[in-house]
Structure 1
Amino acid sequence: MSGYGQFCPVAKAMELLDERWTLLVVRELLLGSTHFNELRRGVPKMSPALLSKRLKALTRAGVVERSETDGRTSYSLTARGKDLAAVVEALGTWGVRWIGELGDEDLDPHLLMWDMRRTIPTSVWPAARTTLAFCLDGVEARAARWWLVVADGRADVCDFDPGYDVAATVHASLRTLTAVWRGDVSWQRALLDGSVAVSGPAQTRRAVPTWVGQGSLAAAPRPA
C-alpha cells in the first residue's frame, strides 16, 4: 500500500498494520498459532493467498520470523512483533466496551469453538480424558454439533463425533454461547434463564462453567 507521507509514528505504524486482516494475523500469532493451517482456522474468512501475502509482508517488516523444521514451516513473532501484544489487547478491550452489537454475519461456530479450544483452562479439567459435547441452535446442521476433548492438559475440538464417552452436553444457540464466551452474559445468568442448558450428571453440570470459562477479554469492564 502507499504510505501516508507523514512523520507521525502512528502514521508510520499504520502503513504496515492497517491493511485488512494484518492485525488479526498478529492476534493469532500472539494466541499461539504457529502453522499456516492453525492461522487459517483463526481467520477462516481470509483466503490462503492473502494470508500468505500478509505473512510475507510481516516477515519483511521484521514482525514475524519464518522457520522450517523437517520440511514443515512455522511462524513466530519477533521481539518487535510481541511488542504489539499491548496494542492488540487495548483494541480488543475497546471493542468489548464500545462495540457490543453483533450481527448475524459476526457469528461463526468454527471460530468460536477454535477460540475455546485454545483458551479453556485445561488445568481445572479432570486428569482423565474428558469430552464435552455442544449442540448449537441457529446454525446449519453440519456445524451444529461439536466436541471438546481434553487429555493430558491438551484440548482438541472436533466437528465429528470422536467416539469417546461424553461427560456432559451443552445446549445453546450460537448467539447465546458467543455472548457467554465474550463475557456479555455470565454463565450463571444464562443457566438461570434457560438460554444455556447442560445435560449430564449433577456434579459435571456444576463444573462445566468452570471447565469452559470465558474468553480472554470477557473480564474487560463495560460502561455503565
Structure 2
Amino acid sequence: MSERSTSRASSESPKNELAHPRVEALTLRVPDYGQFCPVSRGAEIFAERWTPLILRELLNGSHRFSELQIGLPRISRNLLTQRLTSLLSAGVIERRPAESGHGFSYHLTSAGQELRPVVEALGAWGYRWGGADLPTRELDPVLLMWFIRRRVQVEALPRAQTVVRFDIRRPRRSFWLRMEPPAIDLCFTDEGFEVELAVDADLAALTAVWLGRVRLADAIAAGSIRFDGDENARPRFGRWFGLSPFANGGAERVLTRAGAR
C-alpha cells in the first residue's frame, strides 16, 4: 500500500485547516466505551467513522488536507478537521509546516505507523468477505483515478514522459496521467501534452479490473475498455497499470502474514 508518486492536485489547502492543533486537540472529547480493555481503547481511536480511511490515505502518502479530500470525497471539511484533531490528540499523527511554505501537512507518528498492518488486514478481510459486487452508488471516477495513479508501476514505464488520457463513459469525464518517472501527475484538465494512449472505459468495468475482479483481457474483449493510440503503448499499459494491493492473492498474503490463515 505504498504511494510512489506526486500529484498536482494537492497544491492548495483549505482555509479551515486546524488553526492550532494543540489548543483544538485539548478541547475535543472523543466518546469512549468506558472499559479498561485495550481493544476498547484501540477502537476508540481507530474505529471512529472515517478514521480508518484517513489512515489509509496517510499510509499511502497523502499529506495535504486537499489530498485527503480527494481520497475521501464524501467527508465534509468540518468532519475531516475533527477527525484529524482526534488523531493529533491521540498522538497518531503530527502536523508540520508544508514544504511549499503554505499551509500544513499531516504525517503519521511511530504510533500511527504501527497501524499499517491493522489497516492492511482490514482491507484484506474486506476484499475477501465484503462482497465483490459494485453498486452504482460506490462508483467514483475521481477516486478510481486517484487509486490508479497511486498504483502505477513506475519501473515498467519508459524514461521519457508518457501521457495517457482516460475517457470515462458514464459519467462522461476525462483524466490525464502524466508520467515521467519518478513523478506521476493526475491532471483533471487538458494541459496540452501529447497523448500517447487514450483509454475509453466503462466506469464499472475499469473499477472491476483495478480491483482484480475482472481480467483486463476480458474487459477488452467485451468492449468495456478500448484503446486508441500508439500501438506500442497498448501492451505497456498492462505492465504499468497496477491493480489493487489486495488483488491477485494480495488479500490472502496479508491475512497469512497476520496469522489469520
Query: Which of the residues 95, 105, 115 maps onto 2:126?
Result: 95
Q: Is 1:80 the equivalent of 2:98?
A: no
Deviates more, 1:115-124 or 1:49-58: 115-124
Per the alignment, residue 138 of structure 2 pairs with: 106
| Aligned-residue CA RMSD (Å) | 1.5
Letter in 1 for 2:109: T
Q: Distance in 2 between matches of 1:179 and 1:152?
A: 26
Per the alignment, residue 52 of structure 1 pairs with: 81
1:120 deviates by 0.8
Query: Which of the residues 159, 162, 175 maps onto 1:146?
Result: 175
Q: Distance in 2 between matches of 1:174 and 1:64?
A: 34
Asked if the contact 2:245–2:251 (Cα under 8 Å) also holds between the matched residues in 1, the reply is no
Q: Distance in 1 between matches of 2:227 and 2:243?
A: 16
Per the alignment, residue 203 of structure 2 pairs with: 174
User: So what's the TM-score if we normalise by structure 1?
Assistant: 0.92
Per the alignment, residue 125 of structure 1 pairs with: 157
Per the alignment, residue 69 of structure 2 pairs with: 40
Count of matched residue pairs: 219
Letter in 2 for 1:101: D
Letter in 1 for 2:198: T
1:71 deviates by 4.3
Give the secondary structure class of the aligned counterpart of 2:232: helix
Asked if the contact 2:157–2:181 (Cα under 8 Å) also holds between the matched residues in 1, the reply is no
The percent identity for this pair of structures is 41
Query: Which of the residues 236, 242, 246 maps onto 1:213?
Result: 242
Q: Is 1:116 the equivalent of 2:142?
A: no
Q: Distance in 2 between matches of 1:162 and 1:126?
A: 21
Letter in 1 for 2:47: D
Per the alignment, residue 23 of structure 2 pairs with: none
Moved over 6 A (4+): none
1:7 deviates by 2.6
5+ unaligned residues in a row in structure 1: which ranges? Answer: none
User: So what's the TM-score if we normalise by structure 2?
Assistant: 0.79
Q: Distance in 1 between matches of 2:116 and 2:181?
A: 28
- Write the mapping of 1:20-39 to structure 2, written as runs, cut at 5 A: 20-39=49-68
Q: Is 1:7 the equivalent of 2:39?
A: no
Structure with higher RCO (Cα < 8 A, 6+ apart): 2
1:194 deviates by 2.6
Q: Distance in 1 between matches of 2:96 and 2:160?
A: 35
Go from structure 1 to structure 2 and tell me whether the alpha carbon gap of 1:18 and 1:190 turns closer, same or farther (over 3 Å shift). same
Q: Distance in 2 between matches of 1:128 and 1:137?
A: 29
Go from structure 1 to structure 2 and tell me whether the alpha carbon gap of 1:48 and 1:169 turns closer, same or farther (over 3 Å shift). same
Q: Distance in 1 between matches of 2:156 and 2:49?
A: 37
Per-residue CA deviations over 1:139-186 (Å, capped at 9, x if unaligned) read 1x3xx1111110242111112112111111111111000111111112
Q: Distance in 1 between matches of 2:208 and 2:150?
A: 18
